[in-house]
Amino acid sequence: MVSVAAPVSRGRLAAAAASLPLDTGAATETIPAHLRRLVITRDRRCRFPGCEQPPAACQPHHILPRSEGGPTCLANLLLLCAFHHLIAVHRWGWGIALLPDGTVVATSPDRSRTPHSHGPPSRAA
């Protein structure tokens, strides 16, 4: 299950959009610093359902993998902690999707479990 739709607040991204691209137009091995900052601003923590790891413990993840032509763009990136990124997704084979409403759905390799988040992270006070 792969989805690259992602809600984005235009107000928060207006300054960045005026001078920096939100889509590199290709699958790049490294994520440009400005896209990394935007993913952190949007996600605010690991987005794997139930995880609360802060951005310092997280890495941007290509939802549609680069090896399958997934672009390096805000809509195809999701913040995951090192465990969920490297172990759950890349080693164990969990699937992850970002739905248009900001909800994240993780799917176990055998498709028997599908934990959901309850929507996008709440704004910091």
In a domain, 117, yes or no: no
Provide the number of structural domains found in the chain. Answer: 1
Q: Residue 12 corresponds to which tokens in the numbers above?
A: 């928060």
pLDDT digits 0-9 by tens, 59-116: 999 999 988 988 989 999 999 999 999 999 999 999 999 998 889 999 999 988 888 8
> Contact at 8 Å (CB) between 46 and 80?
yes
In a domain, 15, yes or no: yes
Q: What percent of the chain has pLDDT over 90?
A: 48
In a domain, 81, yes or no: yes
Strands 77-81 and 104-107: unpaired
What was the pLDDT predicted at 22? 57
pLDDT of 57 > 70? The answer is yes
In a domain, 124, yes or no: no
> Is the pLDDT higher at 19 or at 113?
113
Domain that holds residue 83: 10-22+30-107
In a domain, 37, yes or no: yes
In a domain, 74, yes or no: yes
In a domain, 96, yes or no: yes
> Contact at 8 Å (CB) between 57 and 81?
yes
In a domain, 118, yes or no: no
H/E segment holding residue 107: strand 104-107
